[in-house]
Structure 1
C-alpha cells in the first residue's frame, strides 16, 4: 500500500491574537517561517521512502496557508525524482476551469506524469469565498460544471462548453498534457450528501479527509459504489487522509490531545463553524448550519485549546500512538473503508515542527516498511448495497 506525506502551513498559535481582536499586531511567528518549515517537512518525503507529497488549498487565515497547491507541487516536482503528487484539495469554485485545466496539464508535463491524485472539492469558508467575490451558493454548480469541463478537456483535442455558469468557446489545451488518463485520476472530497452523490455519479472517486468517524466513512464508501453501479460504473476504492502522530511511547502520545484540540479549534474558526450565521440561508450548506449550531463561540473555543478530547470521542480515524498502535489502526481502517492508499497529515494544531519531523521519521522507520507490504483490497463491505438501490 502506498503512503503519502501531506504538508500544510499552520500558524496555529496566531489564532489567539485574532480571537483577541489584536489585528494591528504582527504574528509572533512570521508566516514565512511556518511555510519554510512545511517545505522542510516535504523535503523529508523522498529520502525517507514515502510514495508522494500532497498539499491543500487555503489562504487568508493562519489555517493551511497554501494559496496555490499546484504551484507548491511544481516546486517539489523540481526537487524530487520518484515520488508522486496529490492535492487535498483544489477548491474548484475558486478557479476558472480553463486556467485550472492548463495548470494541471502543465504540472503533468514538468512532473513527468507524477500528479497522480487530482483531488478536488467545493470549499466551505465564507471568508475565502468572499475575498474572491464568488458566491458560495454557486459552489456546487461550479464544481459540477468544472468536472464536466475537465472530462471534455481530458478526452478530446478540442472542446466547447455551454453551462449555466461557464460558457467556453471552442478551445484547445496547449501545451497538451503528457498523460492520457488524467480524468481517471480525479478524486473528490465531500462532507455533504449532495456533493458525494454528484461526484459519484460523474465517475469521480472519493477522497476522505480524516474528519469522520470510521463507521461513517465506511458507510460512505458503500453509498459511493451503490451510486456508481446505478450509472454503470464499477466499484472503486477511496483514498484516505489521516492525521498522524507517531511516537515511541503512550506517554508521548498524550501530547496529541493539545494538538488535536487546537486543530479542531483552527478548523472551526477557519471554516466559520463557530458561527451559524456563516451558513444560514446559503444553498448547499444547510448541513453546516446544523453543525455550527452546536459549535462554541471563538472566545470559548480558545479556552478549550488545552483540554483533551472528551471521553467517547471517536479517534478511530486518527493514527496517533506507537508504531504498533498505528499499524493496527491502519489495518482496521483499510478493512472498514477499503482505501487504496493513505496520506498522513503529520503536523496539525500547535504541534512544533521538530515533533512533526521526528514523527515522520519514526513512521518511516517502523511503520512504512510494514504498510508497504500490505495489500489494499476492495472488501465486500464496500460493495454496492442492494437495499439502497431498492
Structure 2
C-alpha cells in the first residue's frame, strides 16, 4: 500500500509562519527518507494557523531540498485562476523537477467570503464553469488544444519532457464523475467529509475513460495522529481538535494551541458533540492501531493510495507521527 502526505502548513502558537514553512520542508525531507510516495501542500487564504496561500511558491523551495519524492498542490483552487497561468506554473515546475510534479485541482474558496472577493471576481460563476476551466487546463498541460481554437495558437511554455500529473480533488459523486470523464486521477478527502466514499469511488472506477491518466488512480485522504501509546496520541490530538473548534467559531488562538491550553478550553455541550464527530473521522492511536485502521480503509474502499494529514501543536510530534506510521508500514 502506498502512503503519502498532505501538509496544511499549520502554525502553532509561539511559532512564526516562517517556522511553520521550514517545518514543511523538514516534513517533506522526512517523508522522502521514509519512502512516502508523494507530498502535497495545501492552499489556504487568511486562515489563522495555516501558513501557505501559494503552493506554487513553496513547491520549488521544497523540490530543491528533496531529490525524488513526488511533490504537488493539494489543491490549486482553480476558480480563482486562469487555466493558462496554472498550466504555465506547473509546466515550469515539471521542467525543473522532471517526473516529480503533481497538480491537484480543487474548487473550494480556501477562505472567507471577503477573501474570495479579494482574490477573484465572479467566484460562484467560476465554480459553475469548473468543468470548462478544467478541460482547458488539461489541454494546456497535454499540449493538445483543439485545432481552430484560439488556444491552439499558444503553448503553456516551457513544455516539460514529463508532464505534471493532474489530480481532481473532491468529496462527491459529481467530482468523481468529472475526474472519470476527463481521465484524471481522483483524490477523495475523507478527512473533510461525512460521506461514505465507497459508492463515490466505485462511480469513479466504473465511469473512468482514459485521458491524462491511462488507468484510474485514487487516493483516500485521512486525518491521523500516531504516538508510542494510544494515551499519548489522544493527548496530542486534543490540540488539533480544539483548534478546529476555535476555527469554527472564528475566535481564540491564532495558531494550533498547546496541549495545556487545549485542556483548559471550556467546551460547551455542542462543542463536545463536535469533538466526538471529529474523532470519528480521525485515526488516533499507537502504530499497530493506526496500521490496522489504514489497512482496513485501503481494503474497504479499494483506494490505490492513502494520504495522511496530521496537525499537532508540536512539530516534533507531527514528524514522529509520520515516522511511526512509515516505520510500521513502509
TM-score (norm 2): 0.81
- Asked if residue 130 in structure 1 is aligned to residue 94 in structure 2, the reply is no
Q: CA RMSD in A?
A: 3.2
Structure 2 residue runs without a partner (length 5+):
251-264
Tell me the distance in 2 between the aligned counterparts of 1:219 and 1:92. 26
Pick closer, same or farther for the CA change 1:131–1:357 going to 2, 3 Å.
Answer: same
SS at match of 2:277: coil
2:4 is matched with which residue?
4
In the TM superposition, residue 131 of structure 1 has moved relative to its aligned partner by 1.8
Tell me the distance in 1 between the aligned counterparts of 2:36 and 2:214. 29
In the TM superposition, residue 161 of structure 1 has moved relative to its aligned partner by 8.8
1:107 is matched with which residue?
93
- Asked if residue 139 in structure 1 is aligned to residue 126 in structure 2, the reply is yes
Tell me the distance in 1 between the aligned counterparts of 2:61 and 2:23. 15
Q: Confirm or deny: 8 A CA contact 2:42 2:73 kept in the other structure.
A: yes
Tell me the distance in 2 between the aligned counterparts of 1:201 and 1:38. 34
1:368 is matched with which residue?
329
Q: Confirm or deny: 8 A CA contact 1:48 1:364 kept in the other structure.
A: yes
Pick closer, same or farther for the CA change 1:235–1:267 going to 2, 3 Å.
Answer: farther
Tell me the distance in 1 between the aligned counterparts of 2:200 and 2:126. 22
Render the CA deviation track for 1:94-130: whole Å, top value 9, x for unaligned. Answer: 2221111011111111112211x32111113324312
In the TM superposition, residue 142 of structure 1 has moved relative to its aligned partner by 4.1
Tell me the distance in 2 between the aligned counterparts of 1:63 and 1:135. 27
- Asked if residue 357 in structure 1 is aligned to residue 319 in structure 2, the reply is yes
- Asked if residue 83 in structure 1 is aligned to residue 72 in structure 2, the reply is no
- Asked if residue 152 in structure 1 is aligned to residue 139 in structure 2, the reply is yes
Tell me the distance in 2 between the aligned counterparts of 1:64 and 1:114. 25
In the TM superposition, residue 332 of structure 1 has moved relative to its aligned partner by 0.9
Tell me the distance in 1 between the aligned counterparts of 2:242 and 2:148. 44
Render the CA deviation track for 1:340-369: whole Å, top value 9, x for unaligned. Answer: 112221225xx221211222222232x233
Pick closer, same or farther for the CA change 1:68–1:57 going to 2, 3 Å.
Answer: same
1:173 is matched with which residue?
156
Pick closer, same or farther for the CA change 1:304–1:139 going to 2, 3 Å.
Answer: farther
Tell me the distance in 1 between the aligned counterparts of 2:297 and 2:121. 37
Render the CA deviation track for 1:274-324: whole Å, top value 9, x for unaligned. Answer: xxxxxxxxxxxxxxxxxxxxxxxxxxxx85499666697375653321111
Which structure: larger Rg?
A: 1
Pick closer, same or farther for the CA change 1:136–1:110 going to 2, 3 Å.
Answer: same
After TM superposition, the structure 1 stretch with the greater mean CA deviation from structure 2, 47-56 or 320-329, is 47-56
1:18 is matched with which residue?
none
Pick closer, same or farther for the CA change 1:141–1:38 going to 2, 3 Å.
Answer: same
2:60 is matched with which residue?
74
Tell me the distance in 1 between the aligned counterparts of 2:145 and 2:138. 12
- Asked if residue 50 in structure 1 is aligned to residue 30 in structure 2, the reply is no
Q: Confirm or deny: 8 A CA contact 1:237 1:338 kept in the other structure.
A: no
Pick closer, same or farther for the CA change 1:118–1:102 going to 2, 3 Å.
Answer: same
Pick closer, same or farther for the CA change 1:189–1:304 going to 2, 3 Å.
Answer: farther
**What is the aligned residue count?**
310
Tell me the distance in 1 between the aligned counterparts of 2:268 and 2:60. 35
SS at match of 1:65: coil
Tell me the distance in 1 between the aligned counterparts of 2:268 and 2:130. 34
Pick closer, same or farther for the CA change 1:95–1:160 going to 2, 3 Å.
Answer: farther
Match of 1:188 among 151, 155, 168: 168
Structure 1 residue runs without a partner (length 5+):
14-27, 271-301, 370-390
Tell me the distance in 2 between the aligned counterparts of 1:146 and 1:252. 45
